[in-house]
């Protein structure tokens, strides 16, 4: 009998109107959006349901918006009785996974990622950091490029190891530009600059990590009820203190997504269910392993379709 993993998307999956159809029909789903508004003391639900998109895309809005939507969708979907053997999330999505595993309460999770977004936004002055997606180059040659550029005084590092042939680099604007040129010389097919507000998952995020530690120290964290495969090590973790350490490290360390998926497959997972808006993670998982089953639950229709498909698979 194969195992199931619930996976949760990160920044970039947000869309105006996400979660609205479920919230309109189900009061218990709407309750999550109301709780988020109350905890943050801002009309977050209005921003999620109606936009404007430019405001929803600001990091400190995107992060609590995605967590709220993902957990609201999870609450609706879990009434079907489908249970996960593992949870994981991409960057910000790791917090959704930890709420799902009972490590953080929903309200504390929303508050923590709001603060995380603020700290990330403020860690590096606007325009001084950037990120780019490097396509068609393996991690070893790209890591060598990043090391060479960083050692010449322009910090740049591997930020997201998403799937074979897709790695995001992050760092100083100059570092990313220089590494982009070198990556092409080393054989990268394409390098795409990303529209982000800062150099996430690079060493430039260390000031934000110190501030985040103070926030997490003030929040109750419990041992997880389901093992969480964390970004920093791609290993399952259940102990609260260790999870907290990994959340701090995650801000300035690479997101080992490909390794995390491979690890879960090694541990017997053959079904991945992406919970939240979009299908970004499902797409990455298919590129990592074509044999495993991937499903995405983002609204009522997709939830019902997944429940039917799982019944047919006798899961």
For residue range 154-189, list pLDDT tens digits in order.
999 999 999 999 999 999 999 999 999 999 999 999
Average pLDDT over residues 115-143: 94
In Å, how far are 27, 33, 92, 152 from 116, measured between CA atoms? 29, 19, 9, 30
140 shares a domain with 59 = no
171 shares a domain with 29 = no
User: How far is Cα 228 from Cα 145, in angstroms, rounded to an integer?
Assistant: 32
15 shares a domain with 97 = yes
User: What is the per-residue pLDDT for 250?
Assistant: 98
272-292 residue pLDDT tens:
999 999 999 999 999 999 999
pTM as predicted:
0.97
- Catalytic residue, chosen from 13, 170, 197, 201, is 201
Average pLDDT over residues 58-69: 96
User: How far is Cα 216 from Cα 209, in angstroms, rounded to an integer?
Assistant: 10
Average pLDDT over residues 136-164: 97
CA triple 291-276-19, angle to 5 deg: 145
272 shares a domain with 191 = no
278 shares a domain with 252 = yes
269 shares a domain with 148 = no
260 shares a domain with 133 = no
The whole-angstrom distance between residue 167's C-alpha and the CA centroid of its chain comes to 15
13 shares a domain with 76 = yes
Indicate the number of domains in the chain. Answer: 2
113 shares a domain with 184 = no
Residue 28 has pLDDT above 90, yes or no: yes
Q: Which residues pair with 104 in a beta bridge?
A: none
User: What is the per-residue pLDDT for 315?
Assistant: 52
Let me know: does 313 contact 87? Beta carbons within 8 Å: no
User: How far is Cα 110 from Cα 90, in angstroms, rounded to an integer?
Assistant: 16
Let me know: does 47 contact 65? Beta carbons within 8 Å: yes
Q: Please count the other Cβ atoms lying within 10 Å of the Cβ belonging to residue 17.
A: 13
Average pLDDT over residues 70-96: 97
Confirm whether 201 is a catalytic residue: yes
Of 161, 196, 231, which one is at a domain's C-terminal end? Answer: 196
What's the CATH code of the domain at 255? 3.40.366.10
Q: Which residues of 117-127 are buried (b: 16+ CB within 10 A; e: fewer)?
A: bbbbbebbeee
Residue 314 has pLDDT above 70, yes or no: no
Of 145, 171, 196, which one is at a domain's C-terminal end? Answer: 196
In Å, how far are 105, 206, 215, 226, 232 from 102, measured between CA atoms? 7, 27, 18, 8, 20
User: What is the per-residue pLDDT for 101?
Assistant: 98
Average pLDDT over residues 288-306: 97
Length of the chain: 315
DSSP element (H, E) containing 283: helix 280-288
Q: Which residues of 23-51 are buried (b: 16+ CB within 10 A; e: fewer)?
A: beeeeebbebbebbbebbeeebbebbbee
281 shares a domain with 227 = yes
Of 196, 219, 237, which one is at a domain's C-terminal end? Answer: 196
- Catalytic residue, chosen from 13, 45, 70, 91, is 91
In Å, how far are 37, 99, 182, 200 from 92, measured between CA atoms? 19, 12, 29, 11
Strands 293-297 and 269-275: parallel
220 shares a domain with 104 = yes
189-244 residue pLDDT tens:
999 999 887 899 999 999 999 999 999 999 999 999 999 999 999 999 999 999 99
What's the CATH code of the domain at 145? 3.30.70.250
240 shares a domain with 140 = no
Structural domain range at position 186: 129-196
Instruction: Please state, rounded to an integer, the average pLDDT across all residues of the chain.
Output: 96
- Phi and psi based region of residue 48 (left: phi greater than 0; alpha: psi -120 to 50; beta: remaining): alpha
Confirm whether 224 is a catalytic residue: no
User: How far is Cα 264 from Cα 234, in angstroms, rounded to an integer?
Assistant: 9
Average pLDDT over residues 306-310: 94
Residue 121 has pLDDT above 80, yes or no: yes
User: What is the per-residue pLDDT for 127?
Assistant: 84
């Amino acid at each position: 009998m194969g195992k199931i993993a619930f996976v949760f998307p990160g920044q970039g999956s947000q869309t105006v109107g996400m979660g609205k159809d479920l919230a309109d029909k189900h009061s218990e789903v709407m309750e999550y959006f109301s709780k988020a508004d109350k905890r943050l003391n801002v009309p977050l639900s209005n921003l999620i349901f109606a936009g404007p998109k430019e405001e929803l895309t600001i990091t400190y809005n995107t992060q609590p918006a995605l967590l709220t939507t993902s957990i609201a969708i999870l609450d609706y979907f879990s009434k079907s009785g489908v249970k996960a053997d593992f949870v994981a999330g991409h960057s910000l999505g790791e917090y959704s996974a930890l709420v799902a595993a009972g490590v953080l309460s929903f309200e504390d999770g929303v508050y923590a990622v709001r603060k995380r977004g603020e700290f990330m936004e403020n860690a590096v002055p606007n325009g001084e950091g950037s990120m780019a997606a490097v396509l068609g180059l393996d991690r070893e040659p790209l890591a060598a490029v990043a090391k060479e550029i960083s050692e010449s005084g322009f910090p740049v590092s591997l930020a997201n190891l998403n799937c074979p042939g897709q790695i995001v680099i992050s760092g100083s604007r100059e570092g990313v530009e220089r590494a982009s040129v070198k990556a092409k010389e080393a054989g990268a097919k394409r390098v795409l600059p990303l529209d982000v507000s800062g150099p996430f998952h690079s060493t430039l995020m260390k000031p934000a990590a110190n501030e985040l530690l103070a926030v997490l120290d003030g929040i109750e964290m419990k041992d997880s009820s389901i093992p969480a495969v964390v970004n920093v090590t791609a290993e399952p973790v259940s102990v609260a203190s260790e999870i907290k350490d990994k959340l701090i490290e995650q801000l300035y360390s690479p997101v080992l997504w490909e390794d995390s998926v491979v690890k879960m497959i090694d541990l017997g997972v053959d079904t991945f269910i992406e919970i939240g808006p979009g299908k970004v993670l499902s797409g990455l998982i298919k590129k990592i392993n074509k044999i495993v089953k991937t499903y995405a639950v983002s609204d009522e229709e997709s939830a019902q379709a997944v429940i039917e498909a799982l019944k047919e698979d006798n899961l």
